[in-house]
């Protein structure tokens, strides 16, 4: 299990760098910004950090309201959190 945790942490660092870079770019980058939050949400979900995943999916949706994958994963994360 420690390998999964290590890989997850490395992915979160990499995604965090991408998010910070996207923050410095104009509105045209909102799609990339949304994808960075979505990807971090996926990583949090794999690590069973569901509340953090839900937060990131919500941010991704706010940046890209038609983000179907984010809506889907948000629903899955809510189901897992409440089961």
> Residue 38 corresponds to which tokens in the numbers above?
């979505």
Residue/partner pairs of 5-14 with CB below 8 Å, 24 or more apart = 5/47, 8/43, 8/46, 8/47, 11/39, 11/40, 11/43, 12/40, 12/43, 12/44
Q: What pTM did the predictor assign?
A: 0.70
- State pLDDT tens for residues 20-38: 655 555 555 677 789 989 9
C-alpha span between 80 and 51 (Å, rounded):
10
59 has pLDDT over 60? yes
Q: CB–CB of 61/74 below 8 Å?
A: yes
User: In this structure, how many other beta carbons lie within 10 angstroms of the beta carbon of residue 14?
Assistant: 14
């Amino acid at each position: 299990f420690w390998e999964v945790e290590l890989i997850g942490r490395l992915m979160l660092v990499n995604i965090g760098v991408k998010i910070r870079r996207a923050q410095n770019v104009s509105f045209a980058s909102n799609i990339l910004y949304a994808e960075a939050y979505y990807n971090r949400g996926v990583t949090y979900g794999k690590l069973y950090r569901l509340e953090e995943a839900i937060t990131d999916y919500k941010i991704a949706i706010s940046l890209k309201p038609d983000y179907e994958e984010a809506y889907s994963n948000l629903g899955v994360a809510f189901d897992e959190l409440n089961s």
